[in-house]
Every structure is written in C-alpha cells, then in structure tokens.
Amino acid sequence: MQEHQEKVYRDELTPVSFLRRSAHVFPEKVAVVHGDRRYTYREFEERVNRLASRLRDAGLQKGDRVAFLAPNIPPLLEAHFAVPASGCVLVPINTRLGSEEVGHILEHSGSKMLFVDAELEKLVEPLDTSGIEIVRIDDTGEPGDPYEDYLADGSPETLPSVLEDEEETIAINYTSGTTGKPKGAMYSHRGAYLNALGVATGIEMNSRSVYLWILPMFHCDGWCFPWGVTSMAATHVCLRKVEPDKIWDLLEAEGVTHYCAAPTVQIGMVNHEKAHRMQWEVATAIGGAPPSPTLLGQFQDLNIRPIHLYGLTETYGPATICAWHEDWDELSVEEQAGMLARQGQAHVISHLARVVDEEMNDVPRDGETLGEIVTRGNTVMKGYLNNEEATQEAFKGGWYHSGDVAVWHPDGYVEIRDRSKDVIISGGENISSIEIEQVVDKHPAVLECAVVAIPDEKWGERPKAFVALKEGKEATEQEIIDFCKERMARFKAPAAVEFGDLPKTSTGKVQKFVLRDKEWAGQAKRVG
C-alpha cells in the first residue's frame, strides 16, 4: 500500500534490493562469470538497469508479463532483477518443453514479450506469436547480438521503483502440469525476498561463496538462488549446458563452493572420469529425491557436502531442509544416509511443515503413520493464475497441500514415503501421469491406459504405461512410446509399455495402486 512508503520503519520487501545493496557495497567484485565474460556487481547492476529501462520504454505497463526461454546464461539471471525492476512480471519457461506447451504458457500468462535463446527458437517458430514482441539472445555478449543491442539502447541509471505493495506478483512459475495443463504459480516480491534469504543461509553462503548454475534458472526461479546468491554478494558462474566434464573444470577453475542439482546430475558427476577429491569443501543442495548411501559415500570421498532440500513449484522451490545434527557425525555412512534421506523441517523463514490425515489432524510422530505434508506462510505461492478452483483446492483448511505422502518422525523431521498418485518425479522434473494418459489415449488402437511411476536406476523413477487395446487392434511398445514423443516433451514419454486388462474397482475406476504395488515390490519406499 502507498501509505507504507511514508513509514520510516518500513520498506516493501523485494529481491531487487539485493542487487542494489551488493553493487553499492562490492562494486568491483566479480558478480557473474560466463566463459570468458566477467561482470562486476557494478556492471551487473548497469546491465539490469538497461534492460529494465528498455522494458519501460517499450510501453509495457505495470504487471505486464515478460517471458524468458533460455538456459543458465547472464540474460536470464539479469531478467530476475530487471523484469521486476521495470514493474513487470517474469515468466521463466522450461527449456525442455515442447512447442505446444510453450505456446500454452505464453497464451495463459498473457506474455507481451518473449526473450528466446537462439538454440530454442525452434520451439517458438510453429507458434502464433502475433501480439508478442520477440527478442533473440545469441549469448555472445557482443554488439550484434540482438539482446546486447537491446540493452545498449537502455539507460544505465536506476529506475524509480513502482512497487507499492510487497505482495504484488514478481514471477509466474508454471508447474509441469499435474492435472494435464501446467498451472501458473504466482510468486510475490515478499515471498521471493524471504525465500532467497532462506535458501542462501540454509546452504551457508556468504560474500566469498562461488555458486555454479547447474540447477535450471527456469525451475522455480532457480529455487530463488538468482536472488539468494546476489543477496550474499557471492559470484554466479553460469553454465549453458550440464556436462560433467565441464562441471569439474569449472569447480576447479572458478573455485566453486556451492551448487544445486538433482540426483541424476549428481550421479553423472561423481562417476565421471574427471571426478576427484576437492581441496576445499564444496556444498551441494539436492532436491527431487534423497541421496542414496552409495552417492553419500562418494560425496565424502570427493569432499562434497550434501544438503537435502524439499519443496515444490508452489513453495518457491525449497521450503524445508534436512539440517545436519552434529551427533550424526558418529553414525555409519548407511545410517547418515538414512538421516539425510528425510525432507527435514522448515528452513529459517518458512513455516514448520506438518503431516496430517484427511481431517487435517496431525498424524502421530512415530515414523510410521502415513499422512500428507502441508505447509503455509512465507514460502507459499499467492495462488494459481486465473484458476481459483485449483487454488482453493490446494489451500483447503488454510494450509497448502503438497500431495506428498509422508511420515512424521519423533524428532519433528518429515520424510516422504510415496508420491501423490498423479505425479512422477524423474531426474528432478515433475511429470503428470494424467498428461501422458491423455496422449496415449489418442492412439487409434488404445482403449484405455493408466500411467504410474516405476523405479529407474538413473532417473529415480520413470513413467510406465499400462495399455488396454481396442478389440481387433494392435500396437507395439515402441509405437506407443514414439507416438508420445511426437506429441509431448520427450522426457515425459513412457519408458515402458505393458499391454493387458487394467485392474478396476467395482465401479470401474482403475486401481493404480495395484499397478504401483507390482512395480515397486521389494522397495522400501515408493519414491525414486
């Protein structure tokens, strides 16, 4: 509200202020590294100012959406500050999606502008982008690059803020479509500010830290680390493509102290031929799935300290942390892995998580009784864009419902035991079983199908389709898989297909739990 501006004791919280402060205090410190490019905090702020002023000059109004489709490169990092500084709302788009999904996000968000990396233009070319101004990013950092030329016409001076209320929307992050179409989770300036501090302090960053960008910046705004790293005046090291040999080169060359990555990426790293024990401790945040005892042992050998975080798109990324207890140091690697596998509890600015039954009562803290993880407070989205029904469902009872089935341990830590039945988490990406089913059902030979997660050694879990064919019709496993790959992001396509009748209840509802029980037999948990 405007009256807040008149209060001596209050500023509206916005993560844009982190860059202002770091550029003021550490103007000559290296803020961003990308190949041979180096930007100091003064230069970083100037580039942000130029982009922000260009967006204002383009005639965009407060609250207009600006989309970015790019890998982990400086322009996407700059967008996290420039777009909100201009008064607009950032829409970061998953680079692994197909054209149709990108088109849905652009249309649903009402984006007025799109900045797209040259390598990803092919995703946009089939779309009707009339009414959207498009700026290509060649990622050269040199004049002649359309993005750099766009910045060159902007002002290096800081724009006056148009933020009136810290609860205004700063970004819209799209889910992976757990009920078919992706939903747009709205983040506020306040929530982004607080969660950025929560994650930066949670993995113990400071102004001497060097953060390597392995986790996609498009994913929950990079778990708020674009803002969090900047809040600490630490150094961002960008990485266009996740390649283990390149990661090891950068760890050494840039003195990296922190990075975040899904288990799939971590496994590829620690088993690479360049893997070696680091001379300094490197902290890594893991999300999507807990580290295995094998991976934990490898981390110890390499002098890498794992930190297990948990959250969802709807919670700005990480909302809990498995904070380490000193007495765990005395445990065996197997026992430590058991402790670290848990999702833990709230980080310093988020609300303590609960595990509840269907009546919203806390389940016993016995490490056995199953319930659902719920949370509320500073790290929960404002709601879904233009979807009040889904928002009300997610917020029923005054808490955000994660859909994750968990137990509550005597020490207060929570631990996921099963996924919400409609979500498959593969390599850190959420995949909707319903979305896959809808595609498979379009195949002319398919009568009906059900998709569940199956264990996968590399990806944690992958989708498997159980298909009943129409009478007299035929199809092969590969035919169904190829059919899906042609119609959706390739990583969402089923890894396997099994043909036969589907188990059903007396009312005709498919019993997915029967299929899951068969596939996960012998597994201690239903999480990959």
The 10s digit of each residue's pLDDT in 110-154 is 999 999 999 999 999 999 999 999 999 999 999 999 999 999 999
Q: What is the mean pLDDT of residues 345-373?
A: 95
What DSSP string runs through 283-333? Answer: EEEE-SSPPPHHHHHHHHHHTEEEEEEEEEGGGTEEEEE----GGGGGS-H
Query: Is-contact 41 23, C-beta < 8 A?
Result: yes
State whether 77 and 192 are in the same domain: yes
* Reported pTM: 0.84
Q: Are residues 373 and 466 in the same domain?
A: no
Average pLDDT score over the chain: 92
Last residue of a domain, one of 375, 396, 418: 418
Q: What is the pLDDT of residues 188-221, one digit of tens each?
A: 999 999 999 999 999 999 999 999 999 999 999 9
Tell me, what CATH number does 439's domain have? 3.30.300.30
The verdict on residue 183 lying in a domain is: yes
Give the residue from 167, 196, 225 where a domain finishes: 196
Q: Could you tell me if 138 and 171 lie in one domain?
A: yes
**Residue 445 is assigned to a structural domain of this protein:** yes
DSSP-derived letter for residue 119 is G
CA distance 285 to 308: 6
Count of CB atoms situated within 10 Å of the CB of 370: 13
CATH code of the domain in which 393 resides: 2.30.38.10
Q: How far is CA 62 from CA 2, 47, 58, 238, 396, in A?
A: 15, 20, 12, 29, 31
Q: Are 378 and 195 in contact (CB under 8 A)?
A: yes
Residue 111 lies in a domain: yes
Examine residue 374 and state whether it is found in any structural domain, yes or no. Answer: yes
| Band (521; pLDDT cuts 50, 70, 90) | confident
Let me know if residue 251 belongs to a domain. Answer: no
Q: What is the pLDDT of residue 506?
A: 45
Q: Which domain holds residue 142?
A: 12-18+41-196
Task: For residue 153, count other CB atoms closer than 10 A to its CB.
Answer: 10
- 350: nearest Cα among 391, 291, 400, 307: 400
Tally of domains in the chain: 3
* Between residues 514 and 248, the one the model is more confident about: 248
375 lies in a domain?
yes
**Mean pLDDT value of segment 16-43:** 98
In the predicted model, is pLDDT for residue 421 greater than 50? yes
Report yes or no on 274 lying in a domain.
Answer: no
Q: What is the pLDDT of residue 525?
A: 67
Number of H helices, E strands in the chain: 17, 25
362 and 461, same domain (yes or no): no
Kindly state whether residues 61 and 137 are assigned to the same domain: yes
| Res 18: pLDDT | 98
Over pLDDT 70: what percentage of the chain? 95
45 and 185 belong to one structural domain? yes
- The verdict on 77 and 184 lying in the same domain is yes
Predicted local confidence at residue 178, as pLDDT: 43
The answer to the question of residue 59 being in a domain is: yes
The verdict on 363 and 510 lying in the same domain is no
Can you tell me the distance from the alpha carbon of 33 to that of 237, in angstroms, rounded to the nearest whole number?
Answer: 5
| Residue 46 and residue 183 in one domain | yes
If pLDDT is split at 50, 70 and 90, which confidence band does 77 have?
very high
Name the pLDDT band for 177 (thresholds 50, 70, 90).
Answer: low
Q: What is the pLDDT of residues 268-285, one digit of tens each?
A: 898 899 999 999 999 999
Which whole-number Å values give the CA distances from 129 to 88, 99, 403, 481, in the listed order?
19, 12, 35, 30
Which residue, among 123, 161, 144, 213, has the nearest Cα to 4 in the 3D structure? Answer: 161
**Neighbouring residues of 288: CB distance < 8 A, sequence distance ≥ 6:** 262, 263, 425, 427, 428, 460
* 390 plus 432 within the same structural domain: no
In a shared domain, residues 447 and 370: no
Query: Which residues face 72 on adjacent strands?
Result: 239
125 and 145, same domain (yes or no): yes
Choosing from 398, 418, 438, the residue where a domain stops is: 418
Domain at 54, CATH number: 3.40.50.12780
pLDDT of residue 51: 98
* Side-chain-side CA neighbours of residue 174 (13 Å): 29
Name the maximum alpha-carbon separation found in the chain. Answer: 77
